[in-house]
Amino acid sequence: MTTPHDRRNFLAQGAAATAGLFATRSVLSQQNDSFSTTEQQNADQNNDGYPRLHPGLGGPIGSATDRGKLVPGLGKTGAPPVGITAPDLKTTSGKVIDGVREFHLHAMPVRREVLPGIWMDAYGYNGEFPGPALEMYQGERVRIVFKNDLPEATTLHSHGLELPIYMDGIPAVTQPLVKPGQTFVYEYDVHQEGSYFLHPHVAMQEAIGMVVPFIIHPKVAYEPVVDRDFVLMTQQFSMMPNASIPNTTSMDWNFLTINGRCGPYTTPLVCKLGERIRIRFLNFSTLHQHPMHLHGHTFWVTGTEGGRIPESAWIPGNTVIVGVAQARDVEFIANNPGDWVLHCHMFHHMMNHMVTQVGPIVREKWNDAEEIVPGFPQMMSSAKLTKQDIHKLTSRRETQGMREGWYHGVHGLFTVMRVLPPDLYDKVMHTNEPIPPFSSTPKGPPPGSQSL
């Protein structure tokens, strides 16, 4: 076990996080992509004893490097924390006006392509659901200018925030409903930090998509520093065949989304090998928890909807249960290169547009395994993808270099975290160069590894 003195020495040697206040300029969206390949290679030679460029446990249980617990990121010390990345969503830090950070949110009907060619008509804000993702600093005053462009009355509730009662957004209890065409200004001081969200307090509106990730960065960057800060909002909907509107009264579901899209239409999380990553899971599903599971890595649970967890209470794992209306932050060193799936481990949540077939379950005779094996599971085949559908999935830069046909293994509440060497990362994210398949995950195991 390490002593506090050992830990202080480790943090000093391994790159302490910034200790100053955030600057008021817009630095929230910056990414620390400035370190070179040489710097990354040197990082693996640090005296912290943690294997940054390949899998490994690090130090003994309870030490600072135990499973990468307190191993810092590769970003420069003293820099502000990185801004959030919310794949498939817009992010904004608003605008500071007379010392108040101001956001504008318009509640409105929206239309979202949740899978290639499958559109959902729902409610949202500023033309999307969920989102847009907002971020600000702890200690600031926030002003949310809220306009209701829905055909019905609504409000806006700041979920988890400790604010004046008249800003809580509860119809009749704290304020009148905001009628169609009306504007209401929510303004309050923010003394908390963490992963929160905004939503109406009208149940059917919540069930039809209305939620906004609201990330509040601390005044002082946390130790150890992270290089990437991803936000993933989970939701679930019931949308029957030939319909485009979710059934908000249903107690069942068949579409499960991350940031408004179902896998494989979810845009991968892309990072560099050796970076420290934070993922913020926010669950705004109607009635189900989600055990979110990451392949190839061990993370530490570092935060909840109540904010940062003390280091002594961090829990290591590769699966974290995120209940309805909860947030869970996890952190880890991305030291295992490749394309790793990240998904809910509830089996029915790993499929798209599930519908009960009409009549008896039918299999083609050449593949009628039920006759051979009694109890063989009912048929649940993948939907057919057109060339246009496949183009939508594979033309995104974030998917370049993945295995051919990768999208056949990604469904429902599913995405992919890509851990790429710096040169491949730069080629994928900062150029338009064609990248051949299998560049990030090999076509097969090394020769001889399968011999008996």
Q: Beta-carbon neighbour count of residue 129 at 10 Å? A: 29
Domains and CATH numbers, the chain: 84-340 (2.60.40.420)
Rounded Cα distance, 164 and 354, in Å? 43
pLDDT per position as a tens digit, 27-84: 454 444 544 454 455 554 455 689 999 999 999 999 999 999 999 999 877 778 899 9
Residue 366 in this model has a pLDDT that exceeds 80: no
Helix, strand, or coil here: 425? helix
Rg (CA), the chain: 23
**Residue 375 pLDDT grade (very low, low, confident, very high; cuts 50, 70, 90):** low
Would you say 419 and 228 are in contact if contact means Cβ atoms under 8 Å apart? no
Q: What's the CA dihedral at 82, 86, 87, 93 to 10 degrees?
A: -80
- β strands within 220-334, DSSP E: 228-237, 255-258, 269-272, 276-283, 290-294, 299-304, 307-308, 315-317, 319-322, 327-333
| CA–CA–CA angle 127, 130, 135 (5° rounding) | 95
**Of 7, 148, 145, nearest in space to 66 by CA:** 7
DSSP string, 382-395: PPP--HHHHHHHHS
Residue 297 burial class via C-beta count within 10 angstroms: exposed 0-12, middle 13-18, buried 19 and up: buried
Would you say 322 and 292 are in contact if contact means Cβ atoms under 8 Å apart? yes
Residues in the chain: 452
pLDDT per position as a tens digit, 89-143: 999 999 999 999 999 999 999 999 999 999 999 999 999 999 899 999 999 999 9
Structure tokens at 125: 């804000």
Q: Which amino acid is at 191?
A: H
Strands 183-189, 157-159: pairing is: unpaired
Q: How confident is the model at residue 27, as a pLDDT?
A: 44
